[in-house]
Amino acid sequence: MNIQSLTQFSLEGKNAIVTGAGRATGLCYAMAKALHDAGARIILMDVSDNVFELAKELGGDAAGYYAVKANLCDMDSLQAGFDKAMEIFENQLDILLNGAGMQYRCDAIEYPDDKWRQIIDINLNAVFFLSQMAARVMIPRGKGKIINVASLTSFNASKRIPAYSASKGAIVQLTKALSNEWAEKGLNINAIAPGYMITEQTTNLVNTEQGQSYTVRIPAGRWGYPEDLDGTIVFLASAASDYVTGATIPVDGGFLGA
């Protein structure tokens, strides 16, 4: 690959919104940094006030990091957050990364209705409505990248997380549905499906008997790290993926193929 080809992966001058980036140990935060390292200006969008401190720690406005607080379960808050983002970016949006997600473990027969509704709201409904808002800005410009975050449970549902499994399975189909409508308008709609990843939430699980039972099923022989998502997320956000749409790309060390 020559140097000219490598410029396809540059995000210089691009504007990106990343939801769910309110924790420095989370996958969304890591993906936001990968997009920024490739040249994009980033709005970190999260319900937590912590998002303002994270943007500041990363260098703030001067470095191309901005923070917007929004409750993804509330349409008024979501719309206000998106409007604020468009004010910051002067109505120029190139990339939307729908990364925010929630999980709750409980036997299906006892699963509380409030948790079900909350997870569907965050993991699925917010993805659709925010994509809709983004598309209204992107379509008139004839280009844009929307990236959704799926999961291994999009393909292999797990016990005791029925709402999460249902929402992530739906993300794969939503990604295809939006691609079918918007690809001809210049938008690329794709998803990334992380495998078993080492984060703050999973660190204590990796070396347990349960964690090791997952490890032996991963052909790569290890769990992933947040930075293992960097290349795929930059690819999907860049011109290098202009003929890729409606796809869900697993980044799982080969788990789904085993």
Identify whether 136 is part of a domain.
yes
For 166, list phi and psi in degrees, rounded to 5. -65, -45
The 10s digit of each residue's pLDDT in 75-84 is: 999 999 999 9
Q: What is the CATH number of the domain that holds 27?
A: 3.40.50.720
Identify whether 256 is part of a domain.
no
**Percentage of the chain with pLDDT > 90?**
94
Q: What is the pLDDT of residue 208?
A: 94
For the record, the structure tokens of 74 come out as: 């509330």
**Nearest-angstrom CA–CA distance, 95 and 40:** 9
Residue 108 structural domain: 3-250
Q: What is the pLDDT of residue 9?
A: 97
Torsion angle, CA of 146/176/130/158, rounded to 10 degrees?
Answer: -100
The 10s digit of each residue's pLDDT in 113-159 is: 999 999 999 999 999 999 999 999 999 999 999 999 999 999 999 89
What's the mean pLDDT in 32-44? 98
What's the mean pLDDT in 86-114? 97
- Annotate 106-166 with DSSP letters as a single string: --GGG--HHHHHHHHIIIIIHHHHHHHHHHHHHGGGT-EEEEEE--GGGTS--TT-HHHHH
What is the pLDDT confidence band of residue 3, given thresholds at 50, 70 and 90? low
Q: What is the pLDDT of residue 200?
A: 83
What is the pLDDT confidence band of residue 201, given thresholds at 50, 70 and 90? confident
Identify whether 258 is part of a domain.
no
Identify whether 257 is part of a domain.
no
**Nearest-angstrom CA–CA distance, 136 and 83:** 12
Q: What is the pLDDT of residue 2?
A: 61
- 10 SS3 class: coil
Q: Which residues are catalytic?
A: 164
pTM of structure: 0.97
Q: What is the pLDDT of residue 218?
A: 98
Residue where the block lists tokens 């210049």? 186
Residue 1 has pLDDT above 90, yes or no: no
Identify whether 220 is part of a domain.
yes
- Which of 201, 182, 200 lies closest to 190, judged by CA? 182
Residue where the block lists tokens 């809709």? 132
Q: What is the pLDDT of residue 4?
A: 61
**Nearest-angstrom CA–CA distance, 160 and 177:** 28
What's the mean pLDDT in 19-36? 96
For 69, list phi and psi in degrees, rounded to 5. -95, 130
Please tell me the total count of domains within the chain: 1
Higher-pLDDT residue of 177 and 205 is 177
Identify whether 177 is part of a domain.
yes
What's the mean pLDDT in 105-119? 98
* Residue-averaged pLDDT of the chain: 96
Q: What is the pLDDT of residue 192?
A: 98
- 4 SS3 class: helix
Identify whether 143 is part of a domain.
yes
**Nearest-angstrom CA–CA distance, 90 and 119:** 32
The 10s digit of each residue's pLDDT in 185-197 is: 999 999 999 999 9
Identify whether 255 is part of a domain.
no
